[in-house]
Chain A
Amino acid sequence: MTIPILICDDSSFARKQMVRSLPDNWDVSISFAENGEQAIAAIKAGKADILFLDLNMPVLDGYGTLEIISQQDLPTLTIVVSGDIQPEAFKRVKALGALDFIKKPTAKEKVKSVLTNYGILREEDLLTSELLKEFPVEVQCDKLRVSQDSQLNLDPYQEIANVAMGRAGDLLARVFDVTVQLPIPNVNILASSELHMMLKAADQQQGISAVCQGYIGSGISGEALILFYDSSLNGLAKLMHYEGEINDAAEREMLVDLSNILIGAFLKGISDQLDVAFSQSHPELLGLHRSVDDIINSGSRNWQEILAIEINYVIEDHDFQCDLIILITQASLKTLNNKINYLLDEQIA
Chain B
Amino acid sequence: MSGLDFKEFHWMASMINSIDAGMVVLDNDFNIKIWNGFMEHHSNIDSADAKGQNLFSLFPQLPEKWFRRKIAAVRTIQNQSFITWQQRDYLFKFDNYRPITGTVDFMYQNVTIIPLMSLTGQIEQISLIIYDVTDSATKSIALQAANQRIKELTRSSQAD
Contact = CB atoms under 8 A, between A and B. Distances in A.
Nearest to A290: B139
B100 interface: yes
Interface residues of B, number: 23
A279 B18 contact: yes
B149 interface: no
B64 interface: no
Given A279-B18, A300-B104, A223 B99 contact: yes
Interface stretch (A16-24, A137-145, A211-219): A211-219
A61 to B, nearest CB: 33
Given A216-B41, A216-B42, A281 B103 contact: no
A219 to B, nearest CB: 5
A217 B139 CA distance: 26
B97 A216 contact: yes
A222 interface: yes
A248 to B, nearest CB: 20
Given A277-B37, A279-B41, A221 B101 contact: no
B44 interface: yes
A306 interface: yes
B20 interface: yes
Nearest to B100: A223
Given A278-B41, A279-B38, A222 B105 contact: no
A301 B103 contact: yes
Contacts of B102: 214, 301
A221 B95 contact: yes
B13 to A, nearest CB: 15
Contacts of B151: none
A286 interface: yes
Contacts of B103: 294-295, 298, 300-301
Most buried by A among B41, B97, B99, B139: B99
A218 B42 CA distance: 8
A251 B104 CA distance: 29
Interface in A286-344: 286, 289-290, 294-295, 298, 300-301, 303, 306, 327, 329, 331
Contacts of B96: 214
A289 B142 CA distance: 12
Contacts of B37: 277, 279
Those 10 A-B pairs whose CB atoms lie nearest each other, nearest first = A214-B98, A214-B97, A281-B97, A298-B103, A217-B41, A219-B44, A279-B41, A223-B100, A216-B41, A329-B99
Given A279-B18, A279-B37, A281-B98, 12 more contacts: A214-B96, A216-B42, A216-B97, A217-B40, A219-B44, A223-B98, A294-B103, A298-B103, A300-B103, A300-B105, A301-B102, A303-B100
14 contacts: A214-B96, A214-B98, A216-B42, A218-B44, A221-B95, A222-B99, A281-B97, A282-B20, A290-B139, A294-B103, A295-B103, A301-B103, A306-B100, A329-B99
Interface of B: 18, 20, 37-38, 40-42, 44, 95-105, 132, 135, 139, 142
